């Protein structure tokens, strides 16, 4: 039986931009992505489950037995995991403790099974404790004991804004015992603030400046390269406005996707392309990059892990190909350019504490697909234009 990832790899090679049914074939891939319940089936098999895969009670009983063996109380909603109910983030960590995973295996569980979010966010004290415990063979009970022995961080202090995730992890890696961790946490509680992700925010701001700043990539693209929005018959370039301080966030957002502002307005939404995303898998659609998200990130306000990650992926992809196109005068990719782009995207993700791109993640799959094409950025933009056209036609 083909593996899950091999099933998703096949359309990367078999769907071609020149196909008559290109968009129909591309959107059919949505049906190939497995929900959490199905991903858990594969995980349970790896851990010894040999019962009926179609029986949610049998699977739930196996999970409850693992929790009991680990001295943990299983969540009440275990059976519902196998009937489509969403699973909370903290519950995912409990699963990792119950099945005796270490830190690396927990990272892999988040990447392959719970694909919506990254694993440890060590800016949050609870997850810093989970990180230490899972990496040092401690139990869920140990984690709860540690958390009960330290004060909650001051939500109003903001003292940890300049502390990087990597710095916290490096310090945690130097500790050798539970007691050392408790002492260190009590001494360094000011490092922990809710929702901090300094590295990711700074990276996104830097990439955004490259894209949308004065003389940014978007402005230079419009000046020197052909656009999908150009009127070739009339010999007119697409309209694109930018001020002395760069491009406004909404205009820059649409320009990255190369969507026409007047056409998008016909969707009848307030500066949102949400209606054209409806055909995507729900995990790709959720927290999809939008104008509001980039506004909040640029202001340093809290947004979800997934929203940050998706903006990071999009901006890394865009800046890579826009720089290359401006340097060569063409959107054409050279051999191995796609692999180089993936490597750069993964480097940014890892540096910011996020998991690497994964073909089983419906959002990431879009980038894996276009990076197989001869003109990745133009194909990426073509997809959104086709979705916009189809959506407007369906709502006439």
pLDDT digits (tens, 9 = 90+) for 93-124: 999 999 999 999 999 999 889 987 778 888 78
- Could you tell me which of 285, 277, 305, 342 has the C-alpha nearest to residue 110? 305
Average pLDDT on 144-161 reads: 72
In a domain, 3, yes or no: no
How far apart are alpha carbons 368 and 376 in whole angstroms? 10
Among 148-152, 181-185, 222-226, the range with the most confident prediction by mean pLDDT is 181-185
User: CA separation (Å) from 326 to 171, 219, 337, 356?
Assistant: 42, 11, 15, 27
Residue 113 and residue 139 share a domain = no
In a domain, 10, yes or no: no
Q: Which residues pair with 231 in a beta bridge?
A: 236
Residue 153 and residue 82 share a domain = no
- DSSP string for 171-227: HHHH--SHHHHHHHHHHSGGG--TT--HHHHHHHHHHHHHHHSTT-HHHHHHHHS--
H/E stretch holding 262 reads helix 261-265
Among the candidates 62, 97, 117, a domain finishes at 117
Report pLDDT for 234: 56
Report pLDDT for 76: 93
DSSP structural state of residue 277: G
The residues, any chain, with a CB within 8 Å of residue 48's CB and separated by 6 or more, are: none
Range of the domain at 111: 33-117
Q: Number of structural domains, the chain?
A: 3
Among the candidates 117, 140, 167, a domain finishes at 117
**Chain-centre distance for alpha carbon 184:** 31
Residue 61 and residue 51 share a domain = yes
pLDDT digits (tens, 9 = 90+) for 66-96: 999 999 999 999 999 998 888 999 999 999 9
Residue 164 and residue 38 share a domain = no
The residues, any chain, with a CB within 8 Å of residue 209's CB and separated by 6 or more, are: 216, 246
Q: Is the pLDDT of residue 331 over 50?
A: yes
Among the candidates 96, 117, 138, a domain finishes at 117
What sign for the dihedral angle of Cα 117, 118, 124, 130?
positive
pLDDT digits (tens, 9 = 90+) for 10-43: 999 999 988 989 999 999 999 999 889 989 999 9
Q: What is the pTM of this model?
A: 0.84
pLDDT digits (tens, 9 = 90+) for 220-249: 999 899 898 876 655 566 666 777 778 999
- Could you tell me which of 385, 351, 384, 356 has the C-alpha nearest to residue 368? 356
């Amino acid at each position: 039986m083909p593996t899950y990832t091999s099933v998703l790899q096949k359309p990367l090679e078999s769907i071609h931009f020149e196909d008559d049914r290109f968009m129909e074939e591309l959107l059919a891939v949505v049906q190939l992505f497995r929900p959490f319940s199905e991903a858990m089936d594969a995980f349970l098999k790896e851990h010894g489950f040999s019962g009926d895969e179609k029986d949610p009670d049998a699977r739930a009983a196996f999970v409850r037995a693992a929790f009991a063996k680990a001295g943990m109380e299983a969540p009440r909603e275990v059976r519902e995991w196998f009937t489509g109910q969403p699973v909370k983030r903290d519950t995912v960590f409990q699963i990792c403790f119950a099945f005796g995973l270490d830190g690396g295996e927990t990272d892999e569980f988040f990447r392959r099974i719970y694909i919506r979010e990254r694993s440890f966010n060590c800016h949050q004290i609870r997850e810093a404790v989970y990180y230490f415990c899972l990496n040092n063979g401690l139990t869920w009970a140990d984690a709860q004991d540690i958390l009960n022995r330290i004060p909650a961080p001051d939500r109003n202090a903001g003292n940890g804004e300049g502390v990087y995730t990597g710095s916290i992890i490096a310090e945690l890696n130097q500790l050798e015992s539970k007691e050392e961790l408790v002492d260190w946490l009590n001494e360094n509680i000011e490092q922990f603030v809710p929702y901090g992700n300094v590295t990711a925010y700074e990276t996104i701001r830097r990439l955004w400046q490259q894209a949308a700043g004065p003389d940014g990539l978007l402005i230079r693209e419009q000046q020197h390269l052909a656009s999908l929005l150009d009127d070739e018959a009339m010999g007119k370039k697409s309209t694109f406005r930018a001020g002395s301080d760069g491009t406004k966030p909404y205009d820059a957002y649409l320009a990255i996707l190369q969507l026409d502002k007047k056409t998008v307005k016909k969707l009848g939404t307030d500066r949102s392309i949400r209606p054209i995303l409806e055909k995507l898998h729900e995990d790709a659609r959720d927290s999809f990059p939008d104008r509001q998200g980039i506004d909040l990130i640029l202001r340093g306000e809290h947004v979800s892990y997934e929203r940050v990650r998706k903006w990071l992926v999009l901006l890394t992809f865009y800046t890579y190909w826009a720089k290359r196109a401006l340097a060569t005068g063409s959107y054409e990719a050279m051999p191995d350019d796609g692999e180089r782009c993936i490597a750069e995207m993964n480097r940014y993700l890892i540096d910011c504490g996020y998991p690497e791109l994964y073909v089983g993640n419906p959002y990431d799959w879009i980038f894996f697909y276009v990076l197989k094409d001869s003109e990745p950025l133009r194909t990426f933009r073509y997809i959104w234009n086709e979705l916009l056209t189809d959506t407007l036609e369906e709502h006439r």
